[in-house]
Structure 1
């Protein structure tokens, strides 16, 4: 069993610094670090070491004052878990001929790359945030995995793959880069899938010097250059690319390149236009990887059933009614609207309309009135989607009127049976409460084909949502505002009334108000740049931090 060493400056028996622990740490040891900021740098040669934050602790390793990398490893292995690592004028995390494992870390830099990996047996970067450096992640001559990682606010490129690097990059986002979102060169061949690339000063993805990447289901929008550029003698595959608001042409392929360009996935080729566009809209939503996968699986099943029907093969009965379970502000209403449009594009529903109701729209004031109101709402929604928000308030266990709410549930069960192929009903609410709702009528659970779970947004995802809201209002967010924004979302995320994207919207409104008050005190007409810019102080004012 590997040895565990504890670092805590104020704890008797623990090591006062990370450096002191590393001096005693044998090969393969884990160093567990208590909360605090550690103004240290470390160089590990020929060693296998794991550094991790103590459970629930915020640990910052700050090498901002040094003229060398904050953490450098060579000829061994380095694992960092749940740490914040910073630098200013040098590399933040650098490895040479060493295995690198980064999980749940926040890496920020300055005038040099934040993460640099050169040679070595491989890398794993999972659910990390890399920000504020010259380049986010540089991988040279290494394979491995980069999953659900956010790279943002780079003065240059977001990710760079060189010297034959071939990692698998999936999920996550690259945004706010002065150069390219991703640059692939020197015969590299990474696999890039299910990524979002936005707001770059050049192309979204650049391919050069004989490289052959595989690019699948990548969304590229709001770039100054094309979505993808492919240089001479390069190849690879581009499949299901979703460009939006990029320079033209969206895919720029040089003479001599042999890249395979697949406009639509085989599954949706029979009806590529509307369905691909709607799925592209779904993919551009921040986060929600599980939700996106579930909706795509439903679309796949419906499309294949239609092909079977056309071929004269038997098709089983499929219910289009769904349960959306999760907290408020997680995108349930937006996905429900898209689902209705997808059902129309697939030929399942005639108009794909959307009707959103809650308890008050279904429940009447006396026995018999509720069934009448429910039937009217149901009939109005035929041919589209009926979305019942906070549906659990209809069940007896939720109170609020007892049998009147139960009457609405009983009426819905019968109407769903009588019109099973003419409407899609989506009921939404908190996960636990929706279980109680399904128990309110013995036939209710069998009417719904699937429960889709909407997870809370992470602080990084809320930051990306905030960036989009700010840009949508024709504002610019100061890069220095990223830290207080992330801290604010981290602080409120575990609160009992956490509203997810609603919190982001409230905060943006507060930032605009704070900016207005700040500009009024200038005593002069603000410049156009000043009218657009939201500063870190505006974030602090909106968050109630003095």
Structure 2
């Protein structure tokens, strides 16, 4: 487990008073140092030994570490703990990132090129990769022995295997996309025990997922399509399980299990055009139903799913279907679950086979609007391209319109760019715009063709005090706290009092109150003068809630 250690804050920038290179900053870094890097291309390689350090791109900065031409990895760490955030790494004659027995965390990083793996993680230290993109390398990601997780990450256009997991490694690989691999999408070998769930594997030269050398992976809710070899193949002596996976347009058989293998297959759709993808719908709808409140929203989404499912069945039967766009307007106050429902909607579209990836990209005005005429169109088109295959969620979309009075023609330029893209690519992306009900009416009036691009407006009502009490209770349970029943009337009264405020934040206010109650509990326990018991650490008292509520 990584322990946070305070350290120096260092700045890398091309200006006086800052470190001109990353290497010079790291030479003076101590354990726990945070190195912030301003925009620019840094032609250097980095090697660390035993240091715990964070390297992060400055806010909205494009930071590139260019190690091309060097006969060593662009970034190499041995021991310690390293966090890389928002950084692009370029390699050609070696790997981009190599971590040996290092607690490696990479968030929203881009890795391109390289001879060998784009990212190689070895040893017993845990690692985390989230929101990364690896492309144009010999191999995408190689994990040898290390535990950890890979989430929302894309591996594309590599000459060898996409993700290789070996030597007993047991990482969780969730909601990743692996496409365009010269060899296999996943190669699991040498007693590896990964969990691979919710991943999309396509366009591979050999198997989509190949399991060898006594490995026992758990493969759940994955989609394997358009691969030249078998979709999922288990070699001799291998075990594990395949559950609720879709295998389409692969070599026959879609799932192959060697005679001496013990792998089990449950609820897997067969290869070929008849595969429906229905296996994931119930799970996604159950996730929607598990949300507190929102009865009208749930009914609207289920109606959309029913219509889309029937359209898909008609298409497969050769029957005509109407032109359908998957764009929606989510209208309502903050904290009413709009973002969560949008994520589930993307997963539903993926499960129905309507969108290939189902990934979720959330943006706001600053991600779309540039600083001068013409810049906005470029930024908006780039974001739209990135969202293809999934959901583009634009929060507080009304801030783009002239009528909202925030940004003039630059925001209007983003709207005018979006309108034709939404029509031209209506079968490739679902655009969901969200914001207050009244302001969204003005937003839809900002372009004469905008309103017609959206198939439906779904209204999100404010949560009732009772529903917010349930939400607070879930937050407490998720944090392994036990809420004092005496706190419930305090909570209901608090939520009733604030629900009429102009800036009422619904679940956001519940989250703020919960964090305040946790802080009050911490202060109370510190005054005990001794180590609290487990029961005391878990107990969230009515008095803690009262303090957080300002009573």
Same fold, judged at TM 0.5 (above): yes
**Counterparts in 2 of 1:231 and 1:506: CA distance versus 1, 3 Å:** closer
Q: How does 1:192-207 map to 2 (within 5 A)?
A: 192-207=196-211
Distance 1:58 1:508, change over 3 A: farther
What's the counterpart of residue 213 of structure 2? 209
Counterpart of 1:489 in structure 2 is 382
1:226-305 maps to which residues of 2 (within 5 A)?
226-264=230-268, 277-279=276-278, 294-295=284-285, 297=287
Contact 1:323–1:451 (Cα < 8 Å) also in 2:
no
What displacement does 1:9 show? 1.0
Q: Does 1:431 align with 2:330?
A: yes
Question: Which of the numbers 418, 431, 447 marks the counterpart of 1:499?
Answer: 418
Q: Provide the rounded CA distance (Å) in 2 between the counterparts of 1:141 and 1:93.
A: 16
> What secondary structure sits across from 1:166 in the alignment?
coil
* Residue aligned with 1:169, SS: strand
**Secondary structure in 2 matching 1:50:** strand
- In the alignment, the residues of structure 1 paired with residue 322 and residue 425 of structure 2 have an alpha-carbon distance, to the nearest angstrom, of 25
Distance 1:217 1:429, change over 3 A: closer
User: Which of 287, 300, 304 pairs up with 1:322?
Assistant: 300
Do structure 1's residue 122 and structure 2's residue 112 form an aligned pair? no
Q: Residue 453 of structure 1: which of 328, 339, 342 is its match?
A: 342
- For 2:47 and 2:171, the matched residues in 1 are separated by 25
Within 2, Cα distance between the matches of 1:353 and 1:435?
39
1:19 deviates by 0.9
SS at match of 2:76: strand
Equivalent in the alignment of 1:441: none
Residue by residue, what CA displacement relative to the aligned partner does 1:438-474 show, whole Å, maximum 9, x if unpaired? xxxxxxx9xxx999326999xxx9xxx9999xxxxxx
Summarize the Cα distance change of 1:196–1:51 in structure 2 as closer, same or farther, 3 Å threshold.
same
Aligned equivalent of 1:190: 194
Tell me the CA shift for residue 168 of structure 1: 0.4
Structure 2 equivalent of residue 338 of structure 1: 308
| CA deviation string 1:367-397 (max 9, x = no partner) | xxxxxxxxxxxxxxxxxxxx9x8xxxxxxxx
- Asked if residue 5 in structure 1 is aligned to residue 10 in structure 2, the reply is yes
**Aligned CA distance change for structure 1 residues 171 and 121 (closer, same or farther; 3 Å):** same
The answer for the alignment partner of 2:90 in structure 1 is 86
3-state SS in 2 of match to 1:130: strand
Secondary structure of 1:256's counterpart equals coil
Within-5 A mapping of 1:389-538: 429-432=328-331, 452-453=341-342, 489-490=382-383, 495-497=414-416, 499=418, 502=421, 505=424
Provide the C-alpha distance between the structure 2 equivalents of 1:247 and 1:4, rounded to a whole number of angstroms: 54
8 Å contact kept, 1:278–1:342 = no
TM-superposed CA distance for 1:339, in Å, is 4.7
Residue among 65, 72, 83 paired with 1:68? 72
Relative to structure 1, the CA distance from residue 200 to residue 216 in structure 2 (aligned partners, 3 Å threshold; closer, same or farther) is same
Please, what TM-score do these two structures have when normalized by structure 2? 0.57
Deviation at residue 202 of structure 1 after TM alignment:
0.2
Cα shift readout 1:41-62 (whole Å, capped 9, x = no counterpart): 0110111111110011010001
Report if the CA contact (8 A) 2:184-2:210 is conserved: yes
**Alpha-carbon distance, 1:183 to partner:** 0.1
Unpaired runs of at least 5, structure 1: 266-272, 284-291, 302-316, 325-331, 345-351, 357-386, 390-425, 437-444, 469-484, 510-546
Change (3 A) 1:224 1:429: closer
1:136 counterpart SS class: strand
Contact kept, 8 Å, 1:169 with 1:191, in 2: the verdict is yes
DSSP-derived class of the 2:276 partner: helix
Alignment RMSD (CA, Å): 4.4
Aligned partners of 1:94, 1:18: CA distance in 2, in Å?
A: 17
Q: Which residue of the partner structure matches residue 220 of structure 1?
A: 224
Provide the secondary structure at the position in 2 that maps to 1:153.
strand
**Alpha-carbon deviations, 1:233-274, whole Å to 9, x = none?**
100011112000000001111121011111259xxxxxxx99
Deviations 1:151-200 (A, max 9, x none): 00000000000110100011020000000000000000000000000000
The 1-side partners of 2:345 and 2:62 are apart by 20
Question: Alignment partner of 2:139: what SS?
Answer: coil
Q: What TM-score comes out, normalization by structure 1 length? A: 0.58
* Residues 248 and 275, structure 2, Cα contact 8 Å, conserved in 1: no
Q: Which residue of 2 aligns with 1:158?
A: 162
Residues 122/320 of structure 1: CA separation in 2 closer, same or farther (3 Å cut): closer
Does the 8 Å contact 1:278/1:338 carry over to 2? no
- Alpha carbons of structure 1 residues 55 and 504: separation in structure 2 relative to 1, 3 Å: farther
Contact 2:137 2:158 in 1 (8 A): yes
Offset, 1:113? 1.1
Q: For the structure 1 residues 119 and 435, does the alpha-carbon distance in structure 2 shift closer, same or farther, using more than 3 Å as the test?
A: closer
Alignment check: 8 A CA contact 1:278 1:341 kept: no
CA distance in 1, matches of 2:275, 2:252: 20
The CA deviation at 1:498 is: 5.6
Any stretches of 5+ residues in structure 2 without a counterpart?
A: 1-5, 358-377, 387-393, 395-413, 429-551
Classify 1:90/1:139 alpha carbon distance in 2 versus 1 (closer, same or farther; 3 Å).
Answer: same
The residue aligned with 2:57 is: 53
Shift of 1:209: 0.3
Task: Work out whether residues 288 and 341 of structure 2, in 8 Å CA contact, stay in contact via their aligned partners in 1.
Answer: no
